[in-house]
Structure 1
Amino acid sequence: MKKMISVLVGIMLLSCLPFYLHLANKSTEPSSGGEGQRLDVHKLESIVNLASSGEKAGKGDVEAPSFTLKALDGSYHTIGGKREKPVVIHFWASWCEACSVEVATLRKLYGQYKNQVDFLGINVSTEEKPENIEKFVKQNNLKYPILLDEHKHAADLYQLHALPTVFLIDKNGFVLDTFHMVDPLELEEKIKHLAEP
């Protein structure tokens, strides 16, 4: 009798396996926005092409994935959905030399555009020591919020493959552009366009 029950339980578990695998695969597929849903990289590629040609993406092309992270000062910040101002998201790490170069331009642009654009630094900090993060922020005199992506949740949602990476997101929560390490004058031009009403 016990053997028969074990066989029945085994059959039931095996019959549930395809359903479980379907749900597991569905949750990791790229999607367009929403909490826990990844960026649609195919649509994002067309946005980047439009941005590099000087055109703006159409409304609703690529929704920025939503997430909430804790900042160095203990506050929480949410990305995704409508907001009062567009936002610049800068993914970085303290060990990344290119991040140190790019952050100098971002600091300057924050001073110029902080009334029209929100700036957020996101430290991809799974392998970072807190003191290294704080040292980087202090050395670079960063005044905008620094969020801690301790489990690479935001990096995964945004399908991050390199550091530094910048995302420009409009007031409606749609990605207008993304890039890795651009010329300071080009970065200034991009943020100037983002700040325009």
Structure 2
Amino acid sequence: TGRPVLRGVDLTLRRGELVAVLGPSGCGKTTLGDLLLGLLRPDGGVVHRAPGLAPWRFQKLYQDPPSAFAPWQTMRQALRDLGRLHGIAWAAFEALAERLRLAPVLFDRRPDAMSGGELQRFAILRTLAVEPVFLFADEPTSRLDPLTQQEVAMHLRALVSERNLSLLLVTHDAAIAQTLADRVIRLDQGKIDEL
């Protein structure tokens, strides 16, 4: 339509901070995260990111975990590929799996043989294994049952503190936002209001 998605946005994320973003569909929440990741370039203004860090230190956690994995690979194969690419020792994957309560037997399963919650926790494991400084979680609990939503959300909250990473959490769930976030912002008609 030619109308800017975001206007006059000024947002700073600190290390170890979880900022939740609420807002109606189509208001620019995903665009904001993609700008911070460097996946999009702004038409105007500037996005400042921590200098000197490799692009893979900025990660996105998607809302659809099955599409995040190759259907023909087991989790072990997918993680071994990631480990070779980034020099990650297998012990790091095992430690994260234990932290996320993923049973060792799950490493030998393909995505279609796991629940949505298990897949989402593997997506978190894979994302955190590269030790990001910034994580954009775009509706990471939207396709999960209520109990698994709470569990995944609590894992994210704990990992933000433990790993001192910045997390921008897009959600439609105001209760999760209020419970987990250090700050909650509302994005509407391209502008941010802090709640």
Per the normalisation by structure 2, the TM-score is: 0.26
Q: Which has the larger radius of gyration?
A: 1
Determine which structure has greater relative contact order: mean sequence separation of CA pairs < 8 Å that are 6+ residues apart, divided by chain length: 2
Per the normalisation by structure 1, the TM-score is: 0.25
